[in-house]
Amino acid sequence: MAKAKLLMGAAIVVTLIYVVKGPGADEAPEPVTVLIPSIGVDTSLEALEVDSAGALEAPTRADRAGWFAKGVTPGDAGPAMIAGHVDSKTGPGVFFRLPELQPGAEVLVEREDGSKLTFVVSSTHTTEKAAFPTAAVYGPTPLSELRLVTCGGEFDRVAGSYRNNVIVEAVLKV
């Protein structure tokens, strides 16, 4: 068991070293909008960071998604992360229909320089938050990939959050 924890810890450290940009890193154009025509998403993006516990912060508004600004920029090699709320106290959030995404669906990312990238969904799956696959979501990939994440499953009223995460994986269309 101790060996498994050590290996998991090492995998997370390697992932963070790979994913988090240091000062002076080459600057790719930042993403400003994400569109997912098949589920009616058209949202601007805000920059997200990680909290003191190392978890990605949620977007400030339920109707807008955010991207992990210290991670991989969409279009660069590796997995770029975009997160959004499934809902709020007032109704559906920007990623309410994310679980409906099927392989082959397109996700369009517009960048600050006016360029547009098209990603193609390869999978959509749900996982327990307690077993979030950090290494699979943030780990190095040779291609430009995109991860879309929101909450899902049953709402835990005591904890005040959903028990699961919905994760969509997509690859840059070339």
Return per-residue pLDDT of the chain as tens, 174 residues.
Answer: 443 433 344 344 334 434 444 455 567 899 999 999 999 999 999 999 999 988 899 999 999 999 999 999 999 999 999 999 999 999 999 999 999 999 999 999 999 999 999 999 999 999 999 899 999 999 999 999 999 999 999 999 998 899 999 999 999 998
Strands, E assignment, the chain: 31-36, 41-48, 65-68, 78-83, 87-88, 91-92, 106-111, 116-128, 144-156, 161-172
pTM over 0.75: yes
Q: How far is CA 134 from the centre of its chain?
A: 11
CA torsion sign for 12, 130, 121, 95 is negative
C-alpha 152/C-alpha 50 separation (Å) is: 20
Phi and psi torsions of 116, nearest 5°: -130, 140
48 vs 25: CA distance, rounded Å: 18
